[in-house]
């Protein structure tokens, strides 16, 4: 006959207290998943636009900070890059912040406009390709399908106002939105010049560079850095990605906020587990004293306490996970952020849950150490 662990008996004997603890742990687990989801969505959204670009390395202004604050550099830097034999193309991408006025409500909201030569497209996104020819028409744009409703009507054929200029929406494409970007406008380089008249086609926001097949992009980056003037940076694909992620997680408070949220959620779970186990220990102090009297060692009793905490923590994990998945779906539907549950994150939170259980069990065990077998007589 299989023996039922003493720790499990303690959990089911105090069902009401255990239920409170399980509910508290489930809430903490949900918070941990939610904060990790937001944290990861920052990393994903930091590069989701640039990941769709067809490039091996990039050229940016020395003053470049991140996508929301593009700085331009002279177009002749692209011609200089082309002088290297390993470089097969260096295409310009124009970027600028503009005001999008909702023609129905009159509200004004900031967005970004990207301009490029339709004959030399820089994006790999399939939903963009069918509209390349149409974008050559004057005052035409395509709009991200995840653009927030507050921007107003963006259906094909509808006229919208960008930077004080009326343009026509040809269709929608699909890239997604980030924490700051509520949907990016794509247009041709000629239309970009009309929408942002303060910039010329000599003011390049991003240089999209492709290298010869078989060439080492890292070696090409090193070679270009030796010949390019000091007013630009030359970055590999990985360096560019890391720069964007570093900006969001370190240069801004975003990483600190969500990282702190994870720590707070862990502390909440730890405290709830400690209070639950401590209360159960206090009601069973005589039983622990009896275990000491019949020869149980401290390590054996410690294992009972930790197992009890693990049972409660793991019972709270599943409802916490289910609630978090529901919130992920709700956030994606409401604000279109990339909230994605992964097996790696589930595994990590399981380890954090067990860690909370061991930590709370260790703290609660100190109360058991106060149990004196002499009190039984």
Distance from C-alpha of 183 to C-alpha of 112, rounded to nearest angstrom: 8
pTM: 0.75
Handedness of CA 21, 328, 42, 210 (dihedral sign): positive
Q: What is the DSSP letter of 229?
A: -
Domain ranges of the chain: 6-45+253-376, 63-229
Q: Which residues pair with 173 in a beta bridge?
A: 144
| Residue 376: predicted pLDDT | 43
Map residue 296 onto helix, strand or coil.
coil
Query: In tens digits, what is the pLDDT along the chain, a chain of 377 residues?
Result: 334 466 677 666 677 777 888 898 999 999 999 999 988 887 777 677 788 889 999 999 999 887 767 789 999 999 999 999 999 999 999 999 888 888 777 788 888 899 999 999 898 878 888 899 999 999 999 998 877 777 877 788 888 889 889 999 999 887 766 555 566 899 999 999 999 999 999 999 999 999 999 999 999 999 999 999 999 999 999 999 888 888 777 767 777 888 888 888 889 888 888 888 888 777 777 676 777 677 777 788 788 888 888 889 999 999 999 999 999 999 887 777 778 899 999 999 999 999 999 998 888 887 776 655 555 44
Please name the residues in contact with 334: beta carbons below 8 A apart, sequence gap of 6 or more.
Answer: none
CA distances from 84 to 155, 168, 219, 268 (A): 44, 40, 12, 57
User: Residue 63 CA to chain centroid, in angstroms?
Assistant: 25
């Amino acid at each position: 006959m299989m023996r039922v662990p003493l720790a499990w008996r303690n959990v089911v004997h105090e069902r009401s207290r255990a239920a409170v603890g399980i509910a508290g742990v489930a809430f903490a687990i949900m918070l941990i998943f939610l904060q990790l989801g937001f944290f990861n969505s920052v990393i994903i959204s930091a590069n989701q636009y640039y990941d769709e670009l067809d490039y091996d390395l990039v050229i940016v202004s020395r003053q470049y900070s991140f996508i929301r604050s593009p700085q331009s550099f002279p177009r002749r830097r692209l011609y200089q890059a082309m002088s290297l034999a390993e470089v097969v193309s260096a295409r310009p991408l124009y970027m600028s912040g503009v005001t999008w006025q909702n023609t129905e409500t009159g509200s004004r909201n900031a967005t970004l406009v990207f301009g490029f030569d339709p004959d030399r497209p820089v994006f790999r996104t399939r939903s963009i390709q069918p509209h390349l020819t149409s974008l050559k028409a004057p005052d035409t744009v395509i709009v991200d399908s995840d653009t927030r409703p507050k921007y107003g009507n963006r259906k094909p054929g509808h006229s919208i106002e960008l930077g004080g200029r009326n343009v026509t929406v040809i269709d929608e494409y699909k890239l997604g939105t980030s924490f700051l970007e509520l949907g990016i406008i794509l247009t041709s380089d000629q239309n970009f010049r009309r929408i942002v008249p303060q910039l010329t086609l000599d003011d390049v926001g991003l240089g999209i560079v492709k290298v010869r097949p078989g060439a080492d992009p890292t070696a090409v980056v090193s070679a270009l850095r030796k010949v390019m003037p000091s007013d630009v940076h030359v970055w590999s694909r990985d360096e560019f990605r890391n720069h964007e992620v570093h900006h969001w997680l370190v240069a801004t408070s975003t990483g600190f906020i969500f990282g702190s949220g994870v720590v707070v959620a862990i502390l909440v779970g730890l405290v709830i587990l400690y209070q639950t186990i401590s209360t159960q220990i206090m009601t069973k102090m005589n039983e622990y004293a009896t275990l000491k009297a019949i020869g149980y060692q401290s390590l054996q009793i410690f294992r009972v306490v930790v197992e009890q905490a693990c049972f409660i923590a793991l019972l709270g994990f599943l409802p916490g996970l289910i609630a978090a998945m529901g919130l992920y779906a709700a956030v994606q539907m409401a604000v279109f952020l990339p909230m994605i549950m992964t097996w790696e994150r589930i595994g990590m939170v399981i380890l954090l849950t067990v860690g909370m259980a061991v930590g709370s069990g260790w703290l609660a065990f100190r109360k058991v150490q106060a149990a004196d077998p002499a009190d039984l007589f």
